[in-house]
Amino acid sequence: MRKNYVLIPAAGSGSRMGSERPKQYLQLLGKPLIHHTLSVFETHPAIERIFVLLSPDDTYWTTCGSKKVTVLRCGGETRAETVLNGLNAIADSVDEHDWVLVHDAARPCLSRELLDRLLDELANDSVGGLLAVPVADTLKRADKQQRVDRTEPREGLWRAQTPQMFPHGLLRKALQAIGTDAPTDEAQAIEFLGHAPKLVLGDGHNLKVTYPEDLAMAGLILGDMENNND
């Protein structure tokens, strides 16, 4: 039976957040943001192990106390390089057909319901896929003067989220083939090999903390999730 492993690339600096420490270590409801990110995987019985991928010189990490979590100090210059380094590091302890779920360190509001949906819909898929949400806003293409050049049709467009879930061997091969400077997410690397990842419906609550206002919104979402679980 194929096992499920999680990779959390957490070697970025989060420069757009404008804070002194990386955004994954900002305080959120009394603990580091990344601890919230890990919690849904820690408590899920289908998740075998979680690998947190840190920069070699990271001084902010504090243990979350979970036996499922292993820290690998293999962070690279880009997200893709960090993920590939992580895949290489665990290659001897996982099967190439085992699932790897790559999830953003600063995406702390993933619900158990969404994780279950992803695992269920991709369990027998030959390629894998990702959580995503159909684009609802009107999209404008800007010119060099930051004026509207044209309106882009939104039909068929989706906003990619994480986790993104692919077989270990396939994802490793894809990142090696495309190069670690190019892809902005794992699905793009899979597409480079000619595969079509499946889009699994996510929701807007699964937000990525990028700007200061996102941190406040994440706190509201998590607070509501905790109240609903009481």
The tens digit of pLDDT for each residue in 146-188 reads 999 999 999 999 999 999 999 999 999 999 999 988 899 999 9
Structure tokens at 12: 């970025």
Report residues of the chain scoring pLDDT below 50.
none
Quote the pLDDT of residue 71: 97
pTM for this prediction: 0.94
Residue 18: predicted pLDDT: 56
Sequence-distant (6+) residues with CB within 8 A of 46 are: 4, 119
Separation CA 109–CA 131 (nearest Å): 13
> Residue type at 58?
D
- The answer to whether the beta carbons of residues 140 and 151 sit under 8 Å apart is yes
User: What are the chain's domains?
Assistant: 4-124+160-195+203-229 (3.90.550.10)
